[in-house]
Amino acid sequence: MDGRPVLEKGLKLDPAKHKILVDSRPLPKKGKKYYFLLNKPIGVISTAKDTHNRRKVTDFLKHVKARLYPVGRLDKDTTGVIIITNDGKLTHRLTHPRFEVEKEYTVKIEGGISQRGISELERGVDIDGKATSPCKIRFMRKDGKDTILRIKIHEGRKRQVRRMFEAKGKRVIELDRVKYAGLTLGRLKRGEYRELLKTEVEKLITM
């Protein structure tokens, strides 16, 4: 510390006030944490790396000098809310099943669906030998012969919403995540993003 060895156990030091070297090397500086909310367009993949040179969600933030990655995933054909950050602890908190983070989607399905079908989906359907957790589904409107619904889930299984409806013989035409962990897109258009407010980050960390 400051050019002299530290022999005292439990000594508390402030890196902002003291020069601290370990094996003659300075302690690594704590990097800045970034938190962004992106309105993911269709055709963009939710990953930080891709061997096929496809467009990625992190491509929208190439100017940020940090190793960013998406929180959870939306499949290529799904649009809407996705968080991009370099905060590993927050990512774990938002994606681990035990925290049951709520996600809300607008779903457009081909044709119609009965109230009985909706109730069965709400109670849970079998996917890969395991029933989905209870969810909430609300009828929004008809779009010609097709149907638009709003669904709230707190699981994050791969292509879950699409596969839930497939289990009832219903094909999902469009899928848009409109809310994630309480965050909505507001006026963000497809491909637009914004930095999260400090209050929003604090809420995510403590939820």
Q: Print the domain residue range for 198.
A: 14-99+182-207
Asked about 143 being catalytic, the answer comes back as no
Q: Are 146 and 108 in contact, with CB atoms under 8 Å apart?
A: yes
**117 lies in the same domain as 169:** yes
CB atoms within 10 A of CB 125: 17
Percent of the chain with pLDDT over 70: 86
Q: Are 81 and 183 in contact, with CB atoms under 8 Å apart?
A: yes
Q: Are 88 and 57 in contact, with CB atoms under 8 Å apart?
A: no
Residue 108's identity, in one-letter code, is K
**69 lies in the same domain as 132:** no
**43 lies in the same domain as 62:** yes
Q: What's the number of domains the chain is made of?
A: 2
Residues 6+ apart with CB under 8 A from 76: 42, 43, 44, 45, 54
Examine residue 3 and state whether it is found in any structural domain, yes or no: no
> pLDDT: is 107 or 26 the higher one?
107
CATH number at residue 80: 3.30.70.580
Q: Are 134 and 107 in contact, with CB atoms under 8 Å apart?
A: no
**143 lies in the same domain as 45:** no
Active-site residue among 59, 75, 126, 143? 75
CA-to-CA separations, 139 to 19, 103, 154, in angstroms, rounded? 62, 17, 19
Does the pLDDT of residue 3 top 80, yes or no?
A: no
DSSP type of residue 12: -
Half-sphere exposure of 37 (CA within 13 A, CB side): 23
Where residue 31 falls among pLDDT bands split at 50, 70, 90?
A: confident
> pLDDT: is 200 or 3 the higher one?
200
Residue 69's identity, in one-letter code, is Y
CA nearest 124: which of 99, 147, 153, 102? Answer: 153
* Overall average pLDDT of the 16-25 stretch: 60
Examine residue 157 and state whether it is found in any structural domain, yes or no: yes
CA distance 157 to 24: 47
For residue 1, the model assigns a pLDDT of 46
CATH number at residue 155: 3.30.2350.10
CA distance 45 to 56: 5
Question: Which H or E element spans position 93?
Answer: helix 88-95
Q: Is the dihedral of CA 44, 46, 52, 55 positive or negative?
A: positive
For 43-81, write each residue's pLDDT tens digit.
Answer: 999 999 888 889 999 999 999 999 999 998 899 999 999
List b or e across 87-118, with b for residues whose CB sees 16 or more CB atoms inside 10 angstroms.
beebbebbeeeeeebebbbbbbbeeebeeebb
**56 lies in the same domain as 79:** yes
